[in-house]
Structure 1
């Protein structure tokens, strides 16, 4: 009897150890509220990841890293497992630089949520920006928007005085007249417009922005069950948003410090989705060609290889 009890206890111990081996002790993931990352907000504020991994004893470590370039660097160093939201321009640039990054799921197709704005009292066109000071975040979809808009008018990035600046600071600089134009997103567009800064251009006609969830490739390979659970939870957040839109918008408005009316507007601008399609692959290939041609990406990568199983269905 004692021997049987010993065998039973050993089996339980081995089963527990095997289960633990398939799961990490913790998962680090970004918390990025802007431009209007409602899945990320809902997932964090409702504790969805914590609930999903509670039985596994896995702790969730939320990290605020707004820059796609810095997110890529954090993955390369092993300090970050997932970026809940990353624009594909940043993904491609990170991959081209050799960072071990992969696309796990879709997030949004926002056309109007990124914009180029001019300082109050002006009515600039893209052509008018030649020789002007433009502020915005380097290595992002906003940077890509600026380059694409200039190229369409027969210009290049060196035709403007481009200052690398966080979108929030860029908006302040534009509204105060310290710079001629700036690259901003989401609620910052609404605030800038209210302060008299007119929108010069959005992504429409220039760039097809795509926000995705990314993962450190070796994490997905080492912990496939955890990887799949994070993706499933992110998609469950979108399903909850669609089923509880008013409550979701209230959460987004609170976190962003905006009105419900503005939250509704940003929701309509965002184009939330979760499963990538062939159209997304073609868009990635087109973006890569543009980034390489304009010196924004170091090395060509296999775009299709960036997508992990489950990202497309």
Structure 2
């Protein structure tokens, strides 16, 4: 009788441990994005903060470099990515507009000053000069939204220019080689372009509500809520460390971007890092959705509040 009871007890404990193990993923596939100047992401990766946080659970962290927001959302739809440490809300909204349910886990930054349209100074003096010109940059991103917003302000549309989708490094190279008239760039890309003799035509400030956030697939958020909470906790610990060690953190960013400390300090000061979304951020999501939908960049409207997880609000 006693042995039978022990057998039942151990069987129950073994079953419970299996159940707990099933509640944890074997690995987390997370996007690494260093641009525009994502110090939280850089610090997390360089210091192995996520690896340490999940070491006891034997969860492997797989960092994947995907710079385009639209490509990030495609990878999340294909289930090869669980979390994006940094995604612009324009890409998030467009993904949800086609039924790719991606949610906001926490905030990252509001770096409007770091996103810009950069052009040849001899040919492009203003947005109006872009008419009929060849412009390159990543489609389906906040930079794409910036171009449309800037053109709209001057009474033009995307049809008035020759827009070619291209990632930022390639866009910068094309601009500096003289193969295109303007490029959509961010952060160190803008600084490098200016130092090479090009001109900033406009930044996103007062044109686009630039909000970078950490996102997660709906499936992962539902299946592993405690794991996601740990990722958010580590992200916020990274920001706390940055605030306490600003020069060391900026040094890591300067090295990763290949720029000097003065330029790195400038980008950090423009980044406006944050964690918790405010009511203003929610309103910004709604305004961005209206803009994207009205300009046929988003197929279907969604309830923006449903895209924000509780972890992003506290």
TM-score between both structures, scaled by the size of structure 1: 0.96
CA contact (8 A) 1:171 1:188 kept: yes
Which secondary structure state, in structure 1, belongs to the residue aligned with residue 264 of structure 2?
helix
Q: Tell me what 2:296 maps to.
A: 295
Within 5 Å, give how 1:215-254 maps onto structure 2.
215-254=216-255
The answer to whether 1:147 aligns with 2:144 is: no
CA contact (8 A) 1:95 1:101 kept: yes
The answer to whether 1:273 aligns with 2:274 is: yes
1:123 deviates by 4.7
Q: Tell me what 2:309 maps to.
A: 308
Which secondary structure state, in structure 2, belongs to the residue aligned with residue 60 of structure 1?
strand
Q: Distance in 1 between matches of 2:192 and 2:47?
A: 28
Within 5 Å, give how 1:107-256 maps onto structure 2.
107-256=108-257
Question: How big is each residue's C-alpha offset from its partner over 1:19-60, in whole Å with a ceiling of 9 and x where there is no partner?
Answer: 212211111100111111111111111111011111111111
Q: Distance in 1 between matches of 2:184 and 2:24?
A: 40
Q: Distance in 1 between matches of 2:231 and 2:213?
A: 13
CA contact (8 A) 1:121 1:196 kept: no
RMSD: 1.5
Q: Distance in 1 between matches of 2:312 and 2:142?
A: 21
TM-score between both structures, scaled by the size of structure 2: 0.96
- Shifted more, 121-130 versus 254-263: the winner is 121-130
1:121 deviates by 3.1
Q: Tell me what 1:258 maps to.
A: 259
CA contact (8 A) 2:124 2:130 kept: no
1:309 deviates by 1.4
The answer to whether 1:76 aligns with 2:72 is: no
1:18 deviates by 2.9
Q: Distance in 2 between matches of 1:257 and 1:43?
A: 18
CA contact (8 A) 1:120 1:177 kept: no
Q: Distance in 2 between matches of 1:301 and 1:275?
A: 22
Distance 1:100 1:123, change over 3 A: closer
Q: Tell me what 1:45 maps to.
A: 46
Q: Distance in 1 between matches of 2:149 and 2:124?
A: 20
CA contact (8 A) 1:75 1:100 kept: no
Q: Distance in 1 between matches of 2:3 and 2:57?
A: 30
The answer to whether 1:61 aligns with 2:57 is: no
Which secondary structure state, in structure 1, belongs to the residue aligned with residue 253 of structure 2?
helix
1:16 deviates by 2.6
Unaligned 5+ segments in structure 2 are: none
CA contact (8 A) 2:123 2:129 kept: no
